[in-house]
Amino acid sequence: MREAQRRLAMTAWRKLFTLAVNETRVEDKYFMLLKRADEMERADLITSEEWRKLVQQAGTSLASTAECMGGAG
């Protein structure tokens, strides 16, 4: 049961991660990814190391999107 919950949570996180958004929603997507990672860690579905990797992926995605849109560079 626990493994099934973990797989569903990770699949939902990845779907959100790969979801294309317009420039006004990039930050919303980032914060949603962080929130979901936090929820998975609190529910003991992922380890703290896995949480850090998800947060890092979300941050990298946000930074690259900002660079593509002419920011931070």
Q: Give tens-digit pLDDT for 35-54.
A: 999 999 999 999 999 999 99
pLDDT exceeds cutoff 70 at 14: yes
The domain segmentation of the chain, as residue ranges, is 29-61
Determine whether 54 is exposed, middle or buried from the number of CB atoms within 10 Å of its CB (0-12, 13-18, 19+). buried
8 A C-beta contact, residue 61 and residue 31:
no
Give the separation between CA 14 and CA 67, rounded to whole angstroms: 22
Exposed e or buried b for every residue in 11-48, given b needs 16+ CB within 10 A?
eebeeeeeeeeeeeebeebbebbbebbeebbeeebbee
